[in-house]
């Protein structure tokens, strides 16, 4: 039977990745199309990509595919040929990472999910085929100068915080499923405007554009290929970047620098910073922004309490973690939850 799952430990795989001498290219792609049997599609895809030494995270569902991967650069042509040999993926846009060290992934994981983007949409009449118009980088820049345009960021706060388009509207929610009805409500009195949705690679804003049309908006657009493709186009065409700062990405890099602007602040001292880290305390792993000075002071932890914890012997740390519901401490990403969480951790030490 052909290999359909990884059998090597994560630690070993990460070590093997850093031993590689050949460069890798990080790529993202997605496509909404009907898949009758996602499990069979998943298994065949795994065999094909494993042969090409592809690493990454891919979700497959009845509604399509969503992928973030890396491939040995010498295998890029073979990867493209393989994907294009799958009828529904023939000609699919492959977004190549902007700021890439090739160390974004170290294992291939392909999972079957109910949807490739959790959206909370239960209306059976919703149709992804009725979606907004694609916008190129050049057209995006034009629309940004139009007073009748509203640009809507369909990403989470921790993504928006480190980089966004000038004048973009943030939809302040923790999840995409919450953002969709919230965006409709926020813009209900602006139906005559041009509504331009954008996101990281295009998958969320494409669905958001369809949802806005489904809810009675007429002039709806979405940025083709998201911020990743926008950055590629402005570089190739010599256009001015209207996106400022970093583009948060969901891999080991946690960000691609689009412009040199640092628009966020360290969550500990308030100095300009836009590097996301996960707290080094294994009982926390809070995602937050930390400047170099605080990284040195707190040794990569988010608080005095967590800094104290990592000084303890490993057995004492494990004992302290027993019975603690870790999910409460993990990825509290919204603006409303992050600061209270940091305050809570510091109070634990007092």
**Rounded distance, CA 29 to CA 156, Å?**
20
The backbone region for 185, taken as left when phi is positive above 0, alpha when psi lies in -120 to 50, beta otherwise, is alpha
What is the DSSP code (8-state) at residue 53?
T
Residue 82 pairs in a beta bridge with: none
CA 130 to chain centre: 24
Partners of 24 in the beta sheet? 72
Nearest Cα to 305, choosing from 283, 323, 274? 283
In the chain, where does DSSP find H-type helix? 10-19, 38-51, 76-84, 137-144, 157-160, 176-186, 203-214, 226-237, 292-298, 304-311, 314-321, 335-349
What are the backbone dihedrals phi and psi of residue 183, each rounded to the nearest 5 degrees, phi first? -65, -40
CB atoms within 10 A of CB 294: 22
Angstrom distance (rounded) from CA 256 to CA 99: 5
d(CA 301, CA 317): 14
CB neighbours of residue 18 within 10 Å: 8
Residue with structure tokens 């949705």? Answer: 197
- Give catalytic status of residue 294 as yes or no: no
Q: Which residue of the set 88, 199, 269, 302 is catalytic?
A: 199
| Residues assigned a catalytic role | 199
């Amino acid at each position: 039977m052909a290999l359909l799952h990884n059998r090597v430990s994560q630690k070993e795989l990460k070590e093997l990745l850093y031993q590689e001498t050949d460069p890798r290219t990080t790529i993202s792609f997605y496509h909404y199309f009907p898949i009758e049997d996602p499990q069979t599609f998943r298994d065949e895809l795994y065999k094909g990509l494993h042969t090409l030494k592809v690493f990454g995270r891919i979700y497959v569902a009845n509604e399509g595919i969503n992928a973030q991967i890396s491939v040995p650069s010498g295998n890029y042509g073979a990867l493209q040929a393989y994907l294009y040999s799958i009828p529904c993926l023939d000609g699919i846009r492959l977004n190549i990472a902007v700021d890439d060290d090739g160390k974004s992934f170290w294992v291939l994981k392909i999972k079957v999910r109910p949807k490739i983007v959790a959206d909370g949409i239960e209306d059976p009449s919703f149709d992804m085929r009725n979606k907004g118009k694609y916008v190129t980088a050049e057209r995006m820049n034009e629309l940004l100068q139009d007073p009748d345009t509203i640009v809507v960021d369909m990403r989470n706060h921790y993504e928006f915080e480190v980089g966004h388009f000038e004048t973009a509207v943030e939809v302040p929610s923790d999840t995409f499923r919450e953002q969709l009805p919230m965006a409709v409500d926020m813009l209900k009195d602006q139906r005559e405007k041009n509504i331009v949705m954008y996101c990281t690679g295009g998958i969320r804003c494409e669905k958001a554009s369809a949802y806005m049309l489904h809810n009675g908006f007429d002039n709806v657009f979405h940025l083709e290929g998201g911020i990743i493709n926008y950055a590629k186009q402005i570089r190739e065409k010599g256009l001015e970047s209207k996106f400022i700062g970093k583009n948060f990405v969901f891999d080991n890099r946690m960000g691609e620098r689009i412009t040199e602007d640092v628009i966020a602040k360290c969550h500990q001292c308030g100095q300009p910073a836009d590097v996301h880290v996960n707290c080094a305390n294994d009982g926390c792993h809070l995602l937050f922004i930390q400047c170099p000075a605080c990284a040195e002071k707190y040794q990569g932890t988010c608080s005095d309490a967590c800094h104290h914890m990592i000084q303890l012997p490993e057995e004492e740390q494990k004992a302290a973690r027993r019975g603690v519901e870790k999910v409460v401490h993990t990825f509290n990403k919204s603006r409303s939850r992050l600061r209270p969480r940091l305050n809570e951790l510091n109070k634990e030490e007092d």
